[in-house]
Amino acid sequence: MRLFTGIKINAGDEIIEMQRYFKNRYRMKAVEVENMHITLKFIGEVDDREVEKIDSILSGIYFNGFNIKLRGAGAFPDERRARVIWIGIISDDLLKLGREVSEKLSMYNDEKFSPHLTIGRLKDITNISEDLKKYRERDFGEFYVDHFSLYKSTLTPNGPVYDEIKKYFSRD
């Protein structure tokens, strides 16, 4: 089973408008609104019996609820050779939580936490730097985070399907 931890995001009109803008200009597969999330840690393929161990680790993470601000935009690996378009996230508390989750699950992979919200994947490597200019300083909303979740990800011909396995709530 393919797993990751993340925080579900409810996409506002500004995010949907940005997706539409890039989809109309480039060959882009937009992230479905119901699938929008901030990945804390991609765990990858694990045996079913590993889920209990992962749950035990995640249950030991304590945090207080916090606000995140979605602001600015960019691309991976960079704007001139873009494959993924993302919205930036501002929150020291999210950084702290993401690093802790990443560190405690480092036995599954050693990728470091890089906070962002993926809004689409380009089908071709593309230079989008000019079109990103109007989004670099834009605010996309603020959200209160009181939990994160463990998700199962199933890849299908129509795109990924995310099933929430368990929620991990803040202390407050």
Q: Checking phi first, is residue 44 left (phi over 0); if not, alpha (psi -120 to 50) or beta?
A: left
Catalytic residue among 116, 140, 143, 162, which? 116
37, 85, 131, 153: the active-site residue: 37
37 in active site = yes
Per the annotation, the verdict on 147 as an active-site residue is no
Q: Which residues are part of the catalytic machinery?
A: 37, 116
